[in-house]
Amino acid sequence: MRSDPTIFSLQKHNHVCVKFCVSFLLVGLAFGLLLRDSFSFSSVIQTSTPIAKEKTESSVFPFPIEVSNSFDVPGNNQNQTSQNDLVTEKCDIFVGEWVPDKSGPIYTNESCHEIQHHQNCMKNGRADIGYLYWRWRPRKCEIPKFNPKKFLLLMRNKSWAFIGDSISRNHVQSLLCILSQVEPAVEIYHDKEYRSKIWKFPSHNFTLSVIWAPFLIEAAMFEDKTGITSSDIHLHLDKLDNKWTNQYNNFDYVVISGGKWFLKTAIYHENNTVTGCHYCPGKNLTEQGFEYAYRKALQQVFNFFANSNHRATVFFRTTTPDHFENGEWFSGGYCNRTVPFKEGEVDMIDADSIMRGIELEEFEKVLSLSSVKSVNLKLMDTTLLSLLRPDGHPGPYMQFQPFAKDKKGKVQNDCLHWCLPGPIDSWNDMVMEMLVNGSQ
């Protein structure tokens, strides 16, 4: 049979149309899938990116950095998420972990001339340097490294003071080392024992002081530079140490701290009368304990700030834990670990836990007063993050080449202060973060 050309032409046309429709549908389906995947990827990126910064003013550090939590894309084919649907949470910069950091510190023990010999761990012979390559990472945000140029620009014509014990001096030395990368400091004052000092950064007219006041309150101490005590310490629990209170009005910023010295044997005075003591057997005095004295001292300190007409910004730093193992500093204790602890691997000793508890309680008590009077008081809670760094102390390298004569010899260890460079440098990262973002 001969085929009909018209019918053949029509069938061919219909077949082409069907193929065209199918191809069109497949392209459309593929395009739809691409759009859906693209939207899903965009949603994932948005979930992990900070979306807002809230500006608030508070008398206490408000932990201002905000990050978005994960959220679900609304249904019903909606392609946008309302800002009100996002859940944000403030970041506590003092809760987190130590993570490896290949960049290391921004200064060395050779580039900084303010490091005391007993914190110059590398010069004294410490061979491992792994402790230099960690940084603190908060759980829900990132803290940039301290920017010395930016800090000095912000501090033009300003004055800072660090008030406390040798850990405060250790902190100041860290700050000086960092700032020296931009401008060397010029020492313009020191006391007889070289415990209190003042430095000047001439091109920025910036003054930095460290004031030796280990108890923060009035104390009669009979101790030489080596720590040998010839008589009991006498503490006046109702009087502040005027070495720092008389200078307070000169400062724009203050970092103040206390703690360890209250564990020493001491006789307590109130209203010019002996009221008790801490660890004074055989003296026929009431044992009141270091807890009583430390609480009274902090009450005096916080009330002073709350009632002062001078409006400095005050950072109160919590107590610093030590890492002595198998003894104390005087009984063969040592710290030979080379990596940080992870959260949950170590507990604070009772004394440190008690001190930090008192600090947080008394700080909370003064908040109502300080908020009314606009005192800019900030909590710098470095205790827990410092607890995780047993590797950052001088240990036996508080002295030069401690094992040069005897590799197995027993030497005194320093498991309280910090090597420079070292973990204490991160405290300045936090100061910078609180300073720059503290009002947001």
- pLDDT value for 231: 84
Q: Where are the beta strands (DSSP E) in 157-272?
A: 159-164, 186-190, 197-201, 206-212, 217-220, 233-240, 253-256, 266-270
Collapsing DSSP to helix, strand or coil, 236 comes out as strand
CB-CB contact of 323 with 335 (8 Å): yes
Identity of residue 245: T
- pLDDT value for 100: 97
Strand partners, 66: 90
Collapsing DSSP to helix, strand or coil, 33 comes out as helix
Whether 414 sits among the annotated catalytic residues: the reply is yes
Whether 68 sits among the annotated catalytic residues: the reply is no
CA distance 171 to 228: 24
Residue among 191, 185, 187, 184 nearest 244 (CA): 191
Identity of residue 156: R
**Within 10 A of 283 (CB to CB), how many other CB atoms are there?**
14
120-155 residues labelled b (16+ CB within 10 A) or e (exposed): bbbebebeeeebbebbbebebbebebbbbeebbeeb
- pLDDT value for 147: 95
Supply 1's token pair: 């049979």
Point out the catalytic residue in the list 417, 425, 426, 429. Answer: 417
- pLDDT value for 290: 97
Whether 417 sits among the annotated catalytic residues: the reply is yes
Q: Residues 126, 129, 130, 133: is their CA dihedral positive or negative?
A: positive
35 alpha carbon, distance to own chain's centre: 45
Count, residues in the chain = 440
- pLDDT value for 152: 97
Cα R_g (the chain), whole angstroms: 30
Domains defined for the chain, CATH in brackets = 99-437 (3.40.50.1110)
**Within 10 A of 357 (CB to CB), how many other CB atoms are there?**
13
Cis previous bond, 421, omega within 30: yes
Point out the catalytic residue in the list 59, 159, 166, 386. Answer: 166
CB-CB contact of 211 with 161 (8 Å): yes
- Below-50 pLDDT ranges, the chain: 1-22, 24-88, 439-440
Point out the catalytic residue in the list 414, 425, 426, 429. Answer: 414
CA distance 351 to 363: 18
Q: What is the DSSP secondary structure assignment for residue 140, as one 8-state letter? A: S
Q: Where are the beta strands (DSSP E) in 3-54?
A: none
- pLDDT value for 408: 82
